Amino acid sequence: MAAKILLLEDDLSLSEIIEEFLNDEGYEVFLCDNAQEALDMAYERYFDLWILDVKVPLGDGFSLLKELRKSGKQTPAIFMTSLNTTNDLKQGFDAGCDDYIKKPFELAELSIRVKALLKRAFSHKNEDFEDLGDGFRFEFTTQILYHNNKTLTLPSKEIKLLSLLLKNKNNFLSTERIFEELWDYDEEPSELSLRAYVKNLRKILGKEKIINQRGRGYCYG
């Protein structure tokens, strides 16, 4: 089955060139020419990859990706833009992109980046569950924690936190990153609540499983 790619680009001639190229590479491409259309499509359809221009009508690519990340969507994303300063690059990665390609670029370069991201994403999809030891198992597709094959019922944010930590196993996540992933845009993040979630997960899985270091954040290791 062909990988599905959402392409946000308001330059019609460029978008058609990229669409034709990616189609020839074996991908199925869905075109959008404004941020609102891209946002709606990202919510309505499943995509394997988003390729996003930044300076587009009805919004901008940075804000679009931030909103999608806050909603919990983890689809790999590439920014494709003429914005090329270090600050632009920082904004892009802060928004949650996985790669950043500066215009103008060679189509061969885009192909290399797309293949690398999809390969990484598909390898993660094959890792449907994580064996946590001591009879615990977490399934990513269903977002369910099992103990000795019995379902453990946990609050939704604790499940999201566990999933986030496991997807970034052995890597520290800052409190700010966790806030962005767990709390909706209209919610007020709470460090006290986060600590309570961590405490409960430690009580279930073992205190040593989740590490906290001042200035670095939290890590499942």
SS3 content of the chain, % helix, strand, coil (to 5): 45, 25, 30
pTM: 0.57
Over residues 97-148, the pLDDT tens digits come to 999 999 999 999 999 999 999 988 766 554 567 889 898 989 887 788 988 7
Regarding whether 179 and 83 lie in a shared domain, the answer is no
Where among 74, 97, 125 does a domain terminate? 125
**Which residues lie closer than 8 Å to 33 by C-beta, 6 or more apart?**
8, 9, 10, 12, 15, 56, 57
Distance of CA 161 to CAs 7, 54, 145, Å?
Answer: 30, 30, 12
Regarding whether 103 and 77 lie in a shared domain, the answer is yes
- List of the chain residues with pLDDT < 50: 126
Provide the domain count of the chain.
2
Where among 82, 107, 125 does a domain terminate? 125
Regarding whether 200 and 93 lie in a shared domain, the answer is no
Where among 68, 94, 125 does a domain terminate? 125
Report the Cα 185 to chain-centroid distance in Å.
Answer: 16
Nearest-angstrom CA–CA distance, 145 and 139? 7
Residue 204 lies in domain: 129-220
Residue with tokens 């980046």: 113
